Amino acid sequence: MSIFSRAAIAAGLAASIVAGTAGAAAAMSGGAAVTDPTTAPWVATLAMTGDAPLLQRAGCGGALIAPDRVLTAAHCVDGIDPSRTEVHVGARVLSSEPGRTRGIRGISALPGYRILPSPVDPARTDFSSARRDLAVVLLDAPVTEVVPLRIAVRRPAAGTAVAFFAHGTTGIAGPDSYRNDVLHRGDLTVLDDAACRDATPATVDGASVRCAADPATPPVTGCYQDSGSPLVQTVNGVPRLTGVFSFGGETAGKECGQPSPLYFADPVAFRAWAHLPVLPAQPYPSAVPRVSLTGDTARCTAPAWDLSRGLPPSRITFQWATVTVYGPFVIPTPIEGATSRTLRLGPGQAVTSLACLVTATNAGGVTTTMSDTR
């Protein structure tokens, strides 16, 4: 599934990564491994910082559109901590080719980005679609060894052949499917707007979303961890970015591998925005929240903010959570109603089992940063 709830991404990319950590896929339902290391070197992978293997830390995809810019889906970075996230450009094989690694100096979501609850079941976040689902990730140093993937100047017409490049579960079906270690390519055909709307009960924003599908059986499908990955059209022998994966068949209740169009945010419509010299950046923490204990009361102190990498927050909220450790990853589970700076500990409750999440919002987007656990 490609749309994440805020709770799932509150600790950065950790929740998505843990769910996808397992190894190589066993069965293909379409698509093919990219064996040529010179093919699609502009594919980018977002990952948590840390010592675990990249295959475990990797999250969403993206595309290098300028030496210091990666375009991805806004829902991939909505609520992540940019100070705990890095970008790998050209990591064709995650387990052995980390590519060019860069830190993040800022993230800016496209104005108007919004998750659209399903008209059928608004409570089901996996049924949700999105509008204007694009974000620019600004790198802390340019990637000069890779020619960027330029955004197309016009939308491809219905019937146009396009290619989808991703490291998620592209083309893999079944409940035991895992992320692809090796970059995969899936060949698709662009559909018209009516076919896009008719294939899902979800809201399809025609102004910012296009779709494509694989007519083959079994089909290539876009699945969990494919979000943000690029859709490419070759024009006169030159690849051009025509889509950023946003959502898929999960909005119609389908599992990965079942026939469904793939829905892409349209970068063509927002090409000028993606290349603006200055973009407002979401809050960038210069530290992590601090938890202190006085008697039976825990208190959360918000971090300072790095104003050289992001605008100051216009709004800050707090959320206490219990934590579960999966190897190197700490996954928070929000405590219902615990949304103030302080938390009264219950009998036998230890501060070591708690974390404080601080969510900061501004014109560039939303950042959630989590305190260290003791």
CATH number at residue 94: 2.40.10.10
User: Phi/psi zone of residue 29: left (φ > 0), alpha (ψ -120 to 50 degrees), beta?
Assistant: alpha
Same domain for 59 and 130, yes or no, is yes
- Is residue 123 domain-resident? yes
What is the per-residue pLDDT for 146?
97
Residue 8 belongs to some domain of the structure: no
pTM: 0.90
CA dihedral sign, ordered 68, 211, 178, 125:
positive
Query: Do 335 and 205 share a domain, yes or no?
Result: no
In a domain, 88, yes or no: yes
300 with 262, same domain: the answer is no
Total domains present in the chain: 2
Distance separating alpha carbons of residues 195 and 203, to the nearest angstrom: 13
Q: Would you say residue 1 lies in a domain?
A: no
Instruction: List the structure tokens of 266.
Output: 């349209």
Give the N- to C-terminal CA distance of the chain in Å, as an integer.
33
**Mean pLDDT to the nearest integer, 320-342:** 88
Report the distance separating Cα 256 and Cα 247, nearest Å: 11
**44 and 141 both lie in a single domain:** yes
Mean pLDDT, residues 5-29: 33
Q: For residues 330 and 323, is the Cβ–Cβ distance under 8 A?
A: yes
CA distance 366 to 328: 24
Task: For residue 201, say if its preceding peptide bond is cis, omega within 30 degrees of 0.
Answer: no
Tell me which amino acid residue 256 is. Answer: C
Residue 282 domain flag: no
Whether residues 270 and 299 fall in one domain: no
pLDDT of residue 223: 82
In order of 16, 29, 43, 300, 322, the CA distances from 228 in angstroms are 13, 21, 10, 33, 29
DSSP 94-117: TTT---EEEEEEEEEEPTT-EEE-
pLDDT of residue 366: 97
Q: Report the pLDDT value the prediction gives residue 6, as an integer from 0 to 100.
A: 38
| Separation between Cα atoms, residue 227 and residue 1, nearest integer Å | 8
Domain hosting 65: range is: 14-274
pLDDT at 178: 60
Average the pLDDT over 122-138 and give the result.
Answer: 96
User: Do 233 and 354 have their domain in common?
Assistant: no
Say if residue 270 is in the same domain as residue 326.
no
Q: Is residue 304 part of a domain?
A: yes
Asked whether residue 84 is domain-assigned, the answer is yes
Is 284 part of a structural domain of the chain? no
| Beta bridge mates, 210 | 264
Give the residue from 295, 316, 290, 258 showing the smallest Cα distance to 374. 290
Percent of the chain surpassing pLDDT 70: 88
**If you average pLDDT over residues 102-131, what whole number do you get?**
96
pLDDT at 23: 25
Of the spans 3-7, 256-260, 273-277, which averages the highest pLDDT? 273-277
Q: Tell whether 27 and 162 lie within a shared domain.
A: yes
pLDDT of residue 324: 87
Q: Are residues 214 and 332 in the same domain?
A: no
Q: Assess whether 251 and 304 both reside in one domain.
A: no
Say if residue 162 is in the same domain as residue 303. no
DSSP codes of every residue in 166-223: ESSSTT--STT----SB-EEEEEEEPPHHHHHHT-SS---TTTEEEEE--SSSPP---
Question: Mean pLDDT, to the nearest integer, of 343-355?
Answer: 83
Residue 169 confidence (pLDDT): 65
* Pair 331, 183 in one domain: no
